[in-house]
A and B are shown apart, each in its own frame.
Chain A
Amino acid sequence: MSSSTSKLLIPLHVQYIQSLGESKDDLLYHLTAHLRMNAIYWGLTALNIMQHKDALSRTEMIDFVVSCWDDEAGAFGAHPDHDAHLHATLSAIQILIMQDALDRVDVDRVVKFILSLQQPSGVFAGDQWGEVDTRFLYCAVNALSLLGRLHELDVEKTVGYLRQCRNFDGGFGAVAGAESHAAMVFVCTAALAILDRLDEIDQETLGWWLAERQLPNGGLNGRPEKLEDVCYSFWVLSSMSILKKIRWVDADKLIGFILSAQETEHGGIADRPGDQPDVFHTHFGVAGLSLLGYPGLADLDPVYCMPAKIIERMGLRRDWEALPRKTE
């Protein structure tokens, strides 16, 4: 590893995130339009954690979010003229909260949209077309909580579905019967944390399964006998923070792995060393580093995946534990 990657290159990553909106002559920019709202949430959250929350224009961002409103459905799409979707809607709400502009949302209509997507089994669909999984359940629970409308949710029904997704290894899958996967462990654990129902989790077993995600090179994988990937730094660590077991992985080695996946010329973090960076892995790499107490970063709330200060101010903080912030 070269010396230039032994530190988080904050100014370079800030520049990288700023440059993303300027790559309109890049085909990839347009091929990922269906993720634009999520990408802005990832970029903005990473900037907040790196203490550069003003690096992108607030007005432009809010205008963009509002322009993605799908008035027929009463929720947000990922891009202007794209259909409303639960995932884009959660990202929109998170962005507007970080920008202190939630007054731009018709909360009643969004709540109606979200609640309409709950299925008889308790799981949520992503939109009217009916694709269901625990990711959408988490989006719904998170968004309702951020909007202060969690009391309108049928909690027993929701928890009932999560219980069906729990496996003998302590983890959770995307749907009932599915194999445990670290990203689904995060969405289910965080949803249960928001619903104050962590008693549904076999914490000892899940803590073991999560700790076993760390590979000899320090990186984390998402399932047994799979490769490491920077994004699991967040999926696994957030779940461990919620279970207060984040000390069960080797933090220094994981920090080393995340830093080694940085692109040192133009910024950004990739899934693993030597690969092309993107805003998704940049965000989840920075998020992981924050939970590991990396110096100079702001605290990240692992339940909502937003700046901890904002979640605390809203009175939504759940009981979790990250590693103490180190000094330089």
Chain B
Amino acid sequence: MHGVKRVRYSREALEAKKQKEQAKLKEYLSLNDDVLAKRNAGDWSKDAFDLTTRVLHANAEFYTVWNYRRDILINSIFPNSSPSEVHDRIGDELSVTTSLLKQHPKVYGIWNHRRWCLANIPDGPSDTDLDGWRKTIWNKELYVVEKMLDADARNFHAWNYRRYVLANMPMKRPAQAELVYTTRKIEANFSNFSAWHQRSKVLTSLWEGGQLDPHKSKEEEFDLVKNAMYTDPGDQSVWIYHRWLVGAGNAYDILQREIASIQELLDEQPDSKWCMESLVFYKRLLLRHHARQLSEADRLSLTQECLRLLTGLQDIDPNRRQRYEDLAADVKKIN
């Protein structure tokens, strides 16, 4: 149970609450018994189907009832329906899950049923347009999932569903559109790491597919990140994304430039943990991958700088003191 506040009741209040709950309990138990009895009897009637709707409204996590509902659809309703009726039925199923998702946006079983619906859209509307229904319904899904992400921009069920829709919809949307979407989400809230994560995936595919020039696009990303860093240097989402952008640190010039830029921010915000932590990380990348381009004196000063920052981090971020001690020991050992 998540986020349900504890309430203290007096003995009388508790008794009154119990009384009130008894009626609900009785109703639920009778629904529960009915639906399981029908299921055990292999009842695939319209009544049984309607009963599953009622049970799922009372308890959307009842996976056995979702399974039973699909059994009725597959074995009884679909075989006795025209393609057009099946199409309408899928529409009804999607509506049921939409209303349930509004109340329970994090219930796996509802999202799962939605996926199942999409996989069961019949061919049609006509022999010359077999994909028509599929295209229309899948396109609408993006709208639904955007509504869900407007309500909770970090809902990982919704993000996973979004990626599923984008990857499987019959008429693919250009990947650039998804880049625009992540920009919108990030600009609404820099802390939304789910959107930064999605952005890293979208950009990777655009670079690999030759749809964006990686060099130019990375420079734009560095600008975006810098802006976010200056807005809130304490927000870890941005720093994690920055680490992805720098990657293995093979580009010597970029590494040096980013170190200088973070140093500048640190000078303005001398207690910024993320500035310090990132400087240690990038300076160590320099030492690891570019030792030959550095003079002996440079290497020594980078090492000293890392150790000094790690000592500072132990003071301002004591929760992770042991990590900084371990990193310092490592820096000393390697250099």
Contact = CB atoms under 8 A, between A and B. Distances in A.
Interface string A210-230: 011010101000011110010
Interface stretch (B19-27, B126-134, B169-177): B19-27
Contacts of B320: 211-212, 214, 248-250
B46 interface: no
A85 interface: yes
Interface string B146-168: 00000000101001100100010
A168 B237 contact: no
B67 A270 contact: no
B81 interface: no
Interface string A243-271: 00101111001000000000100000011
A325 interface: no
A85 B25 contact: no
B1 A275 contact: yes
Interface in B51-107: 58-59, 61-64, 66-67, 70
A149 B255 CA distance: 49
B295 interface: no
Nearest to B39: A81
The secondary structure that dominates the B interface is: helix
Sorting the interface of chain A by its residue count into under 10, 10 to 19, 20 to 34 or 35 or more gives 35 or more
* Residue from B36, B39, B197 having most chain A Cβ neighbours under 10 A: B197
A312 interface: no
Given A178-B156, A223-B193, A250-B318, A276 B4 contact: yes
Nearest to B33: A81
Nearest to A231: B2
A131 interface: yes
B25 A179 contact: no
Interface string A282-303: 0000000000000000000000
B18 A25 contact: yes
A319 B64 CA distance: 38
Contact of A169 (B2, B240, B322): B240
Contact of A131 (B108, B319, B322): B108
B139 interface: no
Contact of B1 (A85, A177, A225, A276): A276
A250 B317 CA distance: 10
A168 B200 contact: yes
Interface centre among A130, A225, A278 (most CB of B within 10 A): A225
A77 interface: yes
Contacts of A226: 154
B160 A175 contact: yes
Given A83-B64, A207-B323, A271 B29 contact: no
A27 interface: yes
Contacts, number: 144
A275 to B, nearest CB: 6
A26 B198 CA distance: 42
Interface of A is mostly: loop
B332 interface: no
A139 B74 CA distance: 28
B160 A224 contact: no
A197 B234 CA distance: 35
Given A208-B323, A214-B320, A223-B193, A34 B28 contact: no
A168 B154 CA distance: 19
Nearest to A270: B6
A30 B322 contact: no
B193 A224 contact: yes
A174 interface: yes
A35 B240 CA distance: 36
Contacts of A129: 66-67, 70, 112, 116
A27 B2 contact: no
A253 B319 contact: yes
Interface of B: 1-6, 18, 21-22, 24-25, 28-29, 32, 36, 39-40, 58-59, 61-64, 66-67, 70, 108-109, 112, 115-116, 154, 156, 159-160, 163, 167, 191-194, 197-198, 200-201, 235-237, 240, 243-244, 247, 318-323, 326
Q: Nearest 5 pairs between A and B by C-beta?
A: A250-B319, A248-B323, A225-B191, A247-B322, A224-B193
Interface of A: 25-27, 30-31, 33-35, 77-78, 81-83, 85, 127, 129-131, 167-169, 173-175, 177-181, 207-209, 211-212, 214, 216, 218, 223-226, 229, 245, 247-250, 253, 263, 270-272, 274-278, 280-281
